[in-house]
Amino acid sequence: MVRSVKLRRMGGSVGATLPKDMAERLRLAAGDEVLAVETADGILLSPYDADVEEALAIAADAQKRYRRALRELAK
């Protein structure tokens, strides 16, 4: 489902509020943590999972470490 959300200033940060029906469907409540992942298409919000966060950190490290090899493989 695609929904428009409004960004608001929250202290020194910017936050987005999810519509109530969307939050309920995703089983999200105030205070829950989500992961914000930058993608080529925008921002992906995903429920927080320590295993996913660790896997993303490992992937980012591998991407930095093997940057040259990955470029060559992409040709």
pLDDT value of residue 56: 84
Among residues 70, 16, 20, the alpha carbon closest in space to that of 44 is found at 16
pLDDT value of residue 48: 80
Task: Assess whether pLDDT exceeds 90 at residue 40.
Answer: yes
Give me the mean pLDDT over the 28-54 stretch.
Answer: 88
pLDDT value of residue 1: 76
The fraction of the chain above a pLDDT of 90, given in percent, is 53
Give me the mean pLDDT over the 42-58 stretch.
Answer: 86
pLDDT band at 3; cut points 50, 70, 90: confident
The CA distance from 40 to 31, in Å, is 28
